[in-house]
Each structure stands twice: as C-alpha cells, then as structure tokens.
Amino acid sequence: MGLGTIAVTGAAGRIGTVVREALRAEAERLVLLDRVALRAEAPNEEARTVDLRDGAAVTAALAGVDAVVHLGGVPDEAPLPDLLEANVLGTHHVLEAARRHGIGRVVLASSNRVTGFYPTGHTTGPRDPVRPDGLYGVSKAALEALGQLYADKFGLSVICLRIGSFEPAPDEARHLATWLSPRDAVGFVRAALTAPPSTRFATAYAVSANTRRFWELPDPAVLDYVPLDDAEHHAAAVPDAGLPADPAAPQAGPYALPEFTLRHIRE
C-alpha cells in the first residue's frame, strides 16, 4: 500500500535520515523539513528549510500532505526555554498545521525519558503516569499532552512513539535494555503511519526486542509491529554487560542524576 505524501520534520537528523531513506521507495512524495538546508535526492523528494518555531512557515510547508512524521526538535537535555521553543511550541505548530489542513495522521517522536524515574525492575507501559528524568523528558511529556489534546478536541489521529536508544548497535550497558535499532525504528514509524484511520490517539514504546528491556512492547491492536532485533546479540562487545542490574535504579541511568539537569539551569 502506498503511503501518499509524507512530511518528515527533522529530516536531517539521525533518525530522520534513516526514515527518509526507508520511506523514499514507499511514499508517493516525501516533503523533507529541517532548519538546515537539505537537497532532494530522488524525484519524489521535496526539501524545505523551515524553522519549527515559525508557525506560519510550518503551516505553509505542510499544505497538501497526507501524514506527518514529526522528528524535529532539541534531542537531549537543554535549558528549559530552548526545549519549550523547539519541542513544545514546534510541536504545537505541527499539530495546528495538521488541524488546518485536515492531515490524516501525525506521528510524534516522544521519548522513553518521559518515564525515566521508574525503576529497572518495573516493566513500564504507556498507562503508567509520566515520571520525566529531566527537562527534556518534561518537554516530551508536554508533546504527548498536546497530541492528546488535538486528538480529543479537534479529531486528529495522533500516535506518539516513545523512542528508545537509537544507535547502530548498543555500546553501553543501559542500551542492552533500551536499544532501538535503525531497522526497528523504521518498522515502528511505518506501523504508526499505516495504523487504522480509526486510531484517534495512542502512545507506544519504540524499542527493539531486547531480552533485558523494561518497557512494554505495543499491543498489536494499537500498533501492529513486532521488533526484530535484540541488543543481547551485541552484549559481548558492550562494557559491563555482565554486571547485574540494580532493580531499584532508575531506568534513565545517568540521565536521572541531578547534575545532568543542573548544568542546564540558568541562574
């Protein structure tokens, strides 16, 4: 089944680059948005330089698209004003453009870091209350709340993917639980784009089928994708892979430390 016209924000980023390459053969047209200049690399690609903080520019850029994969924003801990502008206001502009244009599906890149303070001994699912591990996690919790609002109030179809540790291969002990392989990342995005139109709002953890994972895999009735990769196959190359995990330690690992956030708080 063809995917129609798909817009990808943050198309120059690490995940955006992988998603762009995968969807190029499936979409009738790919509209690539980023604040850095991109070049079209195929006849069905259209590249636009857009700052997500500019609502009018976002609305103009998303005219005529069937679905949006929203990957743009600040990707890690940062001062809260920067996160609010890029991740919260930027998402608002994407959702508002979708409302105005009647776009059929919006896929929002959330993060596992919205629940980083749950202990590793707890299997966390989308029904658990959020427990952000930092300011970045707070911004992604707000992104999810905006998605829920636009689904409930304006009838948009919104799917939030709580993305795991996106890496070519796991390279630290925490990744043995949290790794999201490039192949599985594409699989989750594709499943979110092709979920039934009746799906009004859903949140799912996008994580590979890791033996040590502490997040629920999606209910197939909500998101029909079964991940294929397991970080355990790379464990021999990961430092400290043989050390037992502390079931009481936060799932966020070092992201939960006060110092990780304090260095971004402006006096």
Q: Are 139 and 91 in contact (CB under 8 A)?
A: no
- Specify whether the backbone of 102 is left (phi greater than 0), alpha (psi in -120 to 50) or beta: left
Q: Say whether 205 is catalytic.
A: no
Active-site option among 136, 150, 205, 225 = 136
Q: Phi/psi of residue 138, each to 5°?
A: -60, -45
What is the signed CA dihedral for 184, 186, 191, 193, rounded to 10 degrees? 160
Q: How would you class 206 by CB atoms within 10 Å of its CB: exposed for 0-12, middle for 13-18, buried for 19 or more? A: buried
Catalytic residues: 136
